[in-house]
Amino acid sequence: TNDLWNLETRKPLLECNPLNAMVLKYMTLKKTNLCVAVDETNKEKILQTIQSIGGYVCAIKLHADIIDDFDQSFIDELTTLSKHHQFVIFADRKLADTGNTVELQLTHGSLHIADWANVVTVHSVPGPPILQSVLNIIKQNKALKGSLLIASLSSKGALTDAEYSKKSLEMANDAKNVVSGFICQKRPSDNPEFLYWTPGVNELKSTDGLGQQWRSIEDAIKRDGNDIIIVGRAITQSQNPVEVARDYASRAFELWKSR
Ligand code: 5BU
């Protein structure tokens, strides 16, 4: 019912999940449901961008594997910025393998994601074992507190149809201590315990010529029912990222609150 979506009612439900508690705290404190995807390839550039827009986001999403000079000093500075500006660090790793491999991917290699990211994306295609392995790592008390299950993708012709989204939802329902929410286009469920994060948002363009599909902030939040917008190039490649971030954050937050 509508009542469950009222923030006062929903708050205690979301706070049962440690990651959602953290995200919700930043969202309400900073009045923003904007997550910026900083898809730059150089750590100085990434840190500069985060420094400038950090006040307007509840989360910063990174693809660590595209950073040419990723190292411990980057992790240290990123972590400092996250505490100063109060945002969640989101690694968009899109895990999609067997359990043992996923545990190794989260804890080893040059990226050792669980040591610095608070949340990571997980594909549902391998089935339930992947979530048990993510839980095993969350239990180790590293930075990693939760995961987002990919219910659907924004790219043209994605194979994540309604049936796939429904099965992803079932997997999440059986593993609420691992799955904090979803990456989705349309919200796959009316369960207010999850947070629904959506990429594919751009006020000016509808495609990048490489299969990405963008829609407006209003469609992402009101029509499609999402909580958090994930915005990359519309902000990072604009003339004035700070102003655009501020504008996207305030518009998105108004729409979210009035939904
Ligand atoms: P953009 O510049 O706003 O297109 O960036 C969107 C980001 O979200 C980018 O980092 C993608 O890898 C990420 N993304 C996406 O666009 N669509 C999806 O379905 C998923 C992730 Br899952």
In DSSP terms, 150 is beta-bridged to 123, 183
Instruction: Give residues (CB < 6 A) around ligand 1.
Output: 37, 39, 63, 92, 150, 153-154, 183, 199-200, 202, 212, 230-234
Q: How far is the CA of 199 from the centre of ligand 1 (A)?
A: 5
Residue 3: predicted pLDDT? 77
Q: What would the pLDDT profile of 121-137 be if each residue is shown by its tens digit? A: 999 999 999 999 999 99
What are the residue ranges of helices labelled H in 59-153?
Answer: 72-85, 99-107, 129-138
Confidence of residue 259 (pLDDT cuts 50, 70, 90): confident
Quick check: 243 pLDDT over 80?
yes
Question: What are the two backbone dihedrals, phi and then psi, of residue 207, each rounded to the nearest 5 degrees?
Answer: -155, 160
Q: Which residue in 191, 259, 190, 209 sits closest to 229, CA to CA?
A: 259
Q: What confidence category does residue 1 fall into, taking pLDDT thresholds of 50, 70 and 90?
A: low
Question: Residue 39: helix, strand or coil by DSSP?
Answer: coil
Annotated binding site for substrate: 39, 61, 154, 212, 232-233
- For residue 96, pLDDT over 60 is answered with yes
**Is residue 195 pLDDT above 90, yes or no?**
yes
Ligand 1, atom 17, residue with closest C-alpha: 154
Query: How far away, in angstroms, is 154 Cα from ligand 1 center?
Result: 7
Pick from 123, 93, 132, 131: which is nearest to 109 by CA? 93
State the catalytic residues: 92, 94, 97
The whole-angstrom separation of Cα 60 and Cα 89 is: 5
| Listed residue (210, 182, 186) closest to 197, CA to CA | 182
Cα(202)–Cα(223) distance, integer angstroms: 15
What φ, ψ does residue 23 adopt, rounded to 5°? -65, -45
Q: If you average pLDDT over every residue of the chain, what do you get? A: 97
Q: How far is the CA of 122 from the centre of ligand 1 (A)?
A: 14
pLDDT given for residue 196 in this prediction: 98
